[in-house]
Amino acid sequence: MNLASVKLYRYTMELVTPFTTHAGTVKEREGILVEAMDADGCSGWGEGVAFSTPFYTAETVETCWVMLRDHFLPVLEEGKVQHPSELPELLKKEKGHQMAKAALEGALWDLYAKQNNQSFPSLIGGTQPSIPVGVVISLSENLNELVPLYESLGYKRIKVKVRKGHEREDIEAVKGLSSDLSIMFDGNGAYEEEDLDHLASLDDLGLLMIEQPFAAGDFYLHRELQGRMNTPICLDESIESYHDAYQAIQFGSCKTINIKISRVGGLTEAMKIYNLCESSGVDAWCGGMLETGISRAHNLAFASLPGMTIPGDLSASKRYWHEDVIIPEVELQNGQVEVPHDKAGIGFEINQRRIEQITEHTFTYHFKEHSS
């Protein structure tokens, strides 16, 4: 790939509205952008989407920064990858840190697509010209205002961050505001074994799915709940690898999987999980992480795969940001987002001015010899 350097940008960007789950409220989004540049000056971009604190996974912005700077980039120089899909094997000895790995791999995929003058969606087999998208409503937001607004904008699915013990009340409030939207709720691992009967009692609500009610990695409790419900149980935090997905499917712990490229360590692993779901009859869809347009562009490409039939968490840029870091910003048209098949790489220009505004620290790793 003829790599000359990789530059890390550590940024902080204010959200349009605070985003609240049972684990806390996010008002500003801290994260990492990754720029991989070849000897000809061509750049590919990825994004590290870990949060400032380890409430979602064990990773944080700080751990990602350190792992990229001190561990992964030196290993990348030694390995000299020729294709982005070689990176997971190269970093195999470095245990964990999936989001940091995904950030670096994402930059390599974008660069590789541009070097080959190919759109990223087409490169990975994406065929859908546009995709239906869903939106997430947090606990701090006004349902009465937002549900009608999002329905008028064409969103196809709403994911609600419910209050534990008030799920029926919260879901029926959304239903009262819209009879057409598909509705699901995200448990974010807040439930325990004692909640099995309570959760099973919600089966009559006709939800699209219940996402990750129990703790990450607890395939047993998710299997027990799925066995009591027709409502599909979706796994999110529990799936950090192909092996996790394989176990979940074999145990019957879920009927659908939310595949997040960042959570599973990069696109190469995400594609393996997608193919597994396809062959196993398990629905798969693409989740989001309060990311900038760079990661959102990667997600759009992934969500354009032919087997992705459930609207993903791929809302418009203005849902979260006063100004995004890509040009043009991601926009919604009649509930769909257009997939950029006609441009090389991720299909969006980088807003360098905006990146300079939000960046607080940078680090550049120069390779002694360009990767072949």
For residue 248, the domain's CATH number is: 3.20.20.120
| Domain extent at residue 7 | 3-117+349-366
Q: Are residues 282 and 150 in the same domain?
A: yes
Task: Return all residues near 204 (Cβ < 8 A) that are at least 6 apart.
Answer: none
Q: Which two tokens stand for residue 237?
A: 């935090």
Q: Find the range with the poorest average confidence among 3-17, 112-126, 133-147.
A: 133-147
Q: Are residues 180 and 56 in the same domain?
A: no
Q: Are residues 166 and 19 in the same domain?
A: no
Amino acid identity, residue 125?
A: G
* Catalytic residue (choose from 101, 156, 159, 161): 161
Whether the per-residue pLDDT at 184 is higher than 90: the answer is yes
Residue with tokens 């390779």: 367
Residue 343 in domain: no
Q: Which residue, among 363, 370, 369, has the nearest Cα to 70 in the 3D structure?
A: 363
Q: Report the SS3 class of residue 258.
A: strand
**Model confidence band, residue 34 (pLDDT cutoffs 50, 70, 90):** very high
Q: Are residues 149 and 90 in the same domain?
A: no
Task: Return all residues near 125 (Cβ < 8 A) that are at least 6 apart.
Answer: 305, 306
Whether the per-residue pLDDT at 372 is higher than 60: the answer is no
pTM for the predicted model, two decimal places: 0.94
255 is catalytic: no
CA distance 102 to 297: 14
CA distance 87 to 139: 38
* Catalytic residue (choose from 114, 156, 159, 260): 260
Q: Are residues 126 and 108 in the same domain?
A: no
318 is catalytic: no
Looking at the structure of the chain, the number of domains it has is 2
CA distance 132 to 134: 7
Q: Report, as an integer, the average pLDDT of 80-106.
A: 96
